[in-house]
Structure 1
Amino acid sequence: MKSILIAAAVAMIVSILFTPYLIRVFSRQGFGQEIREEGPQGHKSKRGTPTMGGVAIVTAMVLGYGAAHLITRMTNPDAEPPSASGLLVLFLAVGLGLVGFLDDFIKIKQQRNLGLNKTAKTVGQLAVGIAFAVLAVQFADENGITPASVNLSFVRDVAWVSFGLVGFVVFCYVIVGGWSNAVNFTDGLDGLAAGSSAMVFGTYVVITFWQFRYDCATAASSGCYHVRDPLDLAVVAAAAMGGCIGFLWWNAAPAKIFMGDTGSLALGGLVAGLSIMTHTELLMIVIGGLFVVEMVSVVLQIAIFRTTRKRFFRMAPFHHHFELAGWAETTVIIRFWLLAGICAMFGLGLFYSEWLTAVGS
């Protein structure tokens, strides 16, 4: 528990203190956000706001995780070192953050709202996702458990749905690409993605700590979990939560800095990685329900417009629809935060109810 608190506290402090430094540096360098012409007119005033603030989130997350292990080892030499699961999830987040950084940097240099083309962005996500998937089924522990399972999972593995190695790699890419794009779509209003992500990661702190308490390697119970390194995953989730909260201090409306694709792709990758490592891929659809709705709104808008030449929403992603309907930006943000919190709590309730059922069976 101490390592979880340290990770969250250090990440939050680093993010709060490091973000204003990035604001000053990026402002001097002219690293300002470009706003698409067809977007809501109220967003035109945001043009030039420093972007790539995701650098602060990723840095805070990595330092929070490292500090938690360092301080814990100093006070307890027998403490567990960083695990394969924790490092792999961080690798996925940092790798996608680098892809997002390239995308943001090209936008700034070319002074346009489009950075990497679709092919280059997809190739970057593909490379990171495949590397993660291949490594995630390596490094078996003394019980033969690898960081990830090749089975589809809800709260536990669904035994009759196994992808096999090749299928798992493809499945991982779909999960990684889907979640990174979903969070990217959500990052369209001040603080919306950072606040929603903090709720998701906070939920996973609870889930992974619960899995640690009822790990089958230490707790002989009908409701135990076969998850590799759950406590270390809780440390990663706590560091990510702290990083998002610290960044939100400066990103809340009116934002002094945007996270850019650097942050949204990294956070989406972390969402995907946590769902895979904790064997909760399907449950994450509920916990991250707001991200799902945002992505589905874009898919629906494109599909319906191409078939009927009519727009289903005033504008996609979904949050812009309400802006154009006359809602104030802060109203949209707060109400979407409420939706994100409801989804997270409902997902946590499903997780707990499944455990009660498993224990009672």
Structure 2
Amino acid sequence: MVYLVTFGVAAISTVILGPLIIPILRSLKIGQTIRSDGPKRHFGKAGTPTMGGLIFLIPIIIASLFISPPNLSTGLLILMTLGFGIIGFTDDYLKVVLRRSLGLKARWKLAGQILLSLILAFIAVVFLDRGTNVWIPFVGELYLGWLYLPFVTFVVVGTTNAVNLTDGLDGLAAGTSAVAALGFLMVSIILDNHHTAIFSAALAGGCIGFLVFNAYPARVFMGDTGSLAIGAAIATLAVLTRTEILLAVIGGIFVVETFTVILQVISFKTTGKRLFLMSPLHHHYELKGWGERKIVLIFYLISIVFAFLGVALLKYL
């Protein structure tokens, strides 16, 4: 019951907050810029308010703090979500408000992500007794020792940027992230991890509530403010539940999107040919003539399958 309440509080708070924040973003002219080489149908989205991640980040944090008893796990989840949200907010602010096309320099963005990832790994191992073992389905435990620090860094940085790549169509990142959060809610309940379960419910509620404004046709975009924060939240849930490997399955849609970008780059640099009309994958189907709603719906269904598969694999850890 407490998880349903948490979900509801985050979702309803997000729906209430949206009409208050969106006009502010619009009045400040914080509008999305569109890639010139992207699908032509996206040009009509230019000027749509971005940095909308603020709309759901606040309710997620409030719901987690007020419903979950004070504890280090929840504090760490909020730290990571806020930390990456601030990195994303800074990048959005520099690009959209100050009109710096490149935003936050890549080396500073990466440095901040690595630092926060190392803090997560250190606190999880030293203060939460996470240990440095990684559970692999059908194999068992793998002891990493000090290698666990770069492993967590790879997981967190990879996940945040994968969610960021997925944020390319109205409602796509928010919906698939909600599914992943619900997957970790199920994982947390099975593992009897009350604190991560509450945060998972809040994260899912915030993402679902945001869809009221972000589903096609979107009235606001989450920007890096939202996508980096969501990615960090999901990755931290995986670390705290010791299911980093299952994250690649539960968040399989993010992995697929990322690999299409990697394969596209490798193919073009080695052969001069593109494997996809455009990457990430959702843009490929756009250029093939698929409607935006159709693509998003299919990706939602695929993400649900991935989430159920990941939860099912839990018994083989």
Q: TM-score range by the shorter chain?
A: over 0.9
Does the 8 Å contact 1:12/1:246 carry over to 2?
Answer: yes
* 1:92 counterpart letter in structure 2: M
Does the 8 Å contact 1:287/1:348 carry over to 2?
Answer: yes
* Cα deviation code 1:193-234 (max 9, x no counterpart): 00001111111111111111xxxxxxxxxxxxxxxxx10110
Aligned-pair distance for 1:155?
6.1
The equivalent of 1:130 in structure 2 is 118
Q: Answer yes or no: is 1:327 the counterpart of 2:290.
A: yes
Does the 8 Å contact 2:138/2:316 carry over to 1?
Answer: no
- 2:90 aligned residue (84, 98, 102): 102
The equivalent of 2:4 in structure 1 is 5
- 2:305 aligned residue (320, 334, 342): 342
Which structure has the larger Rg over C-alpha atoms?
1
* Cα deviation code 1:261-307 (max 9, x no counterpart): 11110111111111111111111111111000000011111111111
Q: Answer yes or no: is 1:120 the counterpart of 2:108.
A: yes
Does the 8 Å contact 1:151/1:158 carry over to 2?
Answer: no
Partners in 2 of 1:284 and 1:35 — Cα distance?
Answer: 31
Structure 1: gaps (5+ residues): 70-80, 141-145, 213-229, 356-361
The equivalent of 2:174 in structure 1 is 194
TM-score under structure 1 normalisation? 0.84
Partners in 2 of 1:189 and 1:19 — Cα distance?
Answer: 19
Aligned-pair distance for 1:156?
10
Aligned-pair distance for 1:253?
0.2
Q: Answer yes or no: is 1:149 the counterpart of 2:154.
A: no
* 2:203 counterpart letter in structure 1: A
* Cα deviation code 1:132-181 (max 9, x no counterpart): 221222225xxxxx1x231112369943x2221x3121111101110001
Structure 2: gaps (5+ residues): none
TM-score under structure 2 normalisation? 0.96
* 1:103 counterpart letter in structure 2: D
The equivalent of 2:227 in structure 1 is 264
Change in Cα spacing, 1:157 to 1:51, as seen in structure 2 (3 Å) is farther
The equivalent of 2:34 in structure 1 is 35
Identity %: 40
Partners in 1 of 2:43 and 2:13 — Cα distance?
Answer: 31
Partners in 1 of 2:75 and 2:135 — Cα distance?
Answer: 21
Secondary structure of 2:126's aligned partner: coil
Aligned-pair distance for 1:20?
1.8
Partners in 2 of 1:196 and 1:338 — Cα distance?
Answer: 9
Aligned-pair distance for 1:82?
2.2
Partners in 2 of 1:157 and 1:308 — Cα distance?
Answer: 37
